[in-house]
Amino acid sequence: MGASAVSLGWAVAALEQALRYSQQREQFGGPLTDKQGIQWKLAEMYRQIETTAATIYAAAASPDGSAVIPDRIQTSVAKLQSSQIVEEVVSEAVQLVGARAFQQGHDLEYLYRLARGRRIAAGTDEMMLNTVARALLRDGVPGMETR
């Protein structure tokens, strides 16, 4: 759960930098945020962050309040989701800011390296998928018995 929360924080930091830059950067007679394409990029980054946050919160919460340790399948899904989304959001932020963001020492360059490493450290994407698949094969789809 900690890895997922950290990834979410990195994604928020990248979105904040992209938003700030695009509000300040003048291009074609106005700030980048005047352009619908830029607005859509920012909105999509925010959507990805919000859906990932919901996944993390759901994994951390016990449906009946009794669990002390989060469910393994939900934590694996949260880690997989957060590690993929942080890389996507940071990559979009780098794209929006441009070459400057890719230079060594820039905050986004550093976040990009961290984000990419998150998909390897603490369990690769494939390991998280293996964990989810084993649980599905063993127990079925969680929550289906109540539907």
pLDDT band at 68, cuts 50/70/90?
Answer: low
pLDDT band at 119, cuts 50/70/90?
Answer: confident
- Structural domain including 105 reads 2-138
pLDDT band at 64, cuts 50/70/90?
Answer: low
Q: Which residue has the tokens 């230079």?
A: 103
Q: What is the pTM of this model?
A: 0.88
Q: Has residue 99 been placed in a domain?
A: yes
Q: Has residue 67 been placed in a domain?
A: yes
Q: Has residue 32 been placed in a domain?
A: yes
Q: Name the domain count of the chain.
A: 1
Q: Has residue 66 been placed in a domain?
A: yes
Q: Has residue 26 been placed in a domain?
A: yes
Q: Has residue 143 been placed in a domain?
A: no
pLDDT band at 30, cuts 50/70/90?
Answer: very high
Q: Whole-number mean pLDDT of the chain? A: 90
Please state the rounded mean pLDDT for residues 24-53.
95
Q: What CATH number does the domain containing 46 carry?
A: 1.20.140.10
pLDDT digits 0-9 by tens, 121-145:
878 999 999 999 999 999 888 776 5
Q: Has residue 146 been placed in a domain?
A: no
Q: Has residue 59 been placed in a domain?
A: yes
Distance between CA 89 and CA 95 in Å, rounded? 10
